[in-house]
Structure formats: structure tokens, C-alpha cells
Structure 1
Amino acid sequence: MTQVPQRPLIPENSLLTRTPEDGRALAIMLARNSIHAMQGELETLKTGRPQYAHDPYGLIAASHVIAVEFATIAAANNYWRQQPPAS
């Protein structure tokens, strides 16, 4: 079996991001890294993908994981320093 290359679960050991958009991208990366850490066999990941790729409940669950990651990142960034948006 081919192993998925393991990456750091938290890149650069920091949840701090410059912008909310960067935070959202980090949330997606963290969710993907977690899946790869839990299921490290590439063939198993690829074999299972057709089963969940079209499952609306699975996609909603995946979105929830990303939302939880994003909430954690937002809190770590003090909701992007409580600055009002530029008008």
C-alpha cells in the first residue's frame, strides 16, 4: 500500500492568519490533513472517494468539520483583531 505523505497537522505550528480568507483556506487544509492522518493508505482513500463524493450527508459532515476548524482559527485570531470591515 502507498502511504499518504504525512504533513504537519498545524503548518508552521500556528493558527494565526492574515485575513479571514486565509483562515478559511487553513481550515480546509487542516481538515484534509486530519483525514490523511487518520487514513494514511492512498488506495483506501481513493477507493472510498466515489462512495462519499456524491453522498449529501457525507458532504454536509465534511463541511461541518471545516466550519469547526474555521471557528477555532477565528478564535485564535481574535476574530481578526475585532477590526470593523473597511468600507
Structure 2
Amino acid sequence: HMNEGKVMDAISIYKDVDGFHPLNVGYLAMQGKNPLFVPCTPKGCLELLSRSGINIEGKRAVVIGRSNIVGIPAALLLQ
């Protein structure tokens, strides 16, 4: 078995285009900090809403699922 944490730590934060590196996740979770890369699927969902003229500021949202790829980053971006 591979240790997921060790694998994520081994990836350079500057090459982590999926936003999985612990520093990128931490920066995403901290309001006011900007991760080097934001996971593309949640970012794309927000872009679709924006381009559709849907204002989400001040609204409530439900994110179903807690995957590291979509669910958690989407919830963090919507805070």
C-alpha cells in the first residue's frame, strides 16, 4: 500500500495543478489566502454559475459528497 499523505507531500506545490498538496488545501481553507492552484472541477462549477449570471453571494448552498476532488474544495470555495 502507498501512503497517500507521503505521495501528496512528494508533489511539488508548484506542479500541483489539481490542488491536492496539503499547502494548497490549507490555503484554500484559509480565507484571504490564495492557493497556487484551485481544483478545476469546483472552480469550473463556480465559473459556470458566474457566466450564467447567477449570483451566489450571500446564498446558502448544499454540497453533496466529501471527495478530495470536488466535494471538499467546492465547500471551501463556497464559504
Q: If the length of structure 1 is used for normalisation, what is the TM-score?
A: 0.28
Where is the helix percentage greater, Structure 1 or Structure 2?
1
Larger Rg: 1
Which structure has more RCO (C-alpha within 8 Å, separation ≥ 6)? 1
Q: If the length of structure 2 is used for normalisation, what is the TM-score?
A: 0.30
